[in-house]
Amino acid sequence: SNISVGHCFCFRGGAELLFDGVKKHQVTLPSQPEPWDIRNLLKWIKQNLLKERPELFMQGESVRPGILVLINDADWELMGELDYKLQDQDNVLFISTLHGG
């Protein structure tokens, strides 16, 4: 289905500082032929939401070590990580566990 779906992306623990201090983003992703997975989502976030210092959020095509990713309150490691296909109304939470600096 090509229907664009709504998602909530939240940033906590300092990660929000890379996104102009905004902790919660309600986003409708552009529709595309393939389902959105987390790999493509991270690319999209980097291009569209991330305001500064992408190296503090991303490493390669994934999040950098020290950033916890929860999909609907479950650890993304249980969900397939980068290969997880986003469903309508999914909540994705990024928590920075890196403090100080």
* Residue-range domains of the chain with CATH: 6-96 (3.10.20.30)
Provide the pLDDT for residue 3. Answer: 53
User: Whole-prediction pTM value?
Assistant: 0.88
**At 1, is the pLDDT very low, low, confident or very high (cuts 50, 70, 90)?**
very low
Provide the pLDDT for residue 98. Answer: 75
Cα 50-65-63 angle, rounded to 5 deg: 35
- pLDDT at 62 exceeding the cut of 60: yes
Q: What average pLDDT does range 38-46 have in this prediction? A: 95
Q: What average pLDDT does range 46-67 have in this prediction? A: 92
**At 4, is the pLDDT very low, low, confident or very high (cuts 50, 70, 90)?**
low
Query: Cα dist. 11→1, 90, 100 in Å?
Result: 28, 14, 17
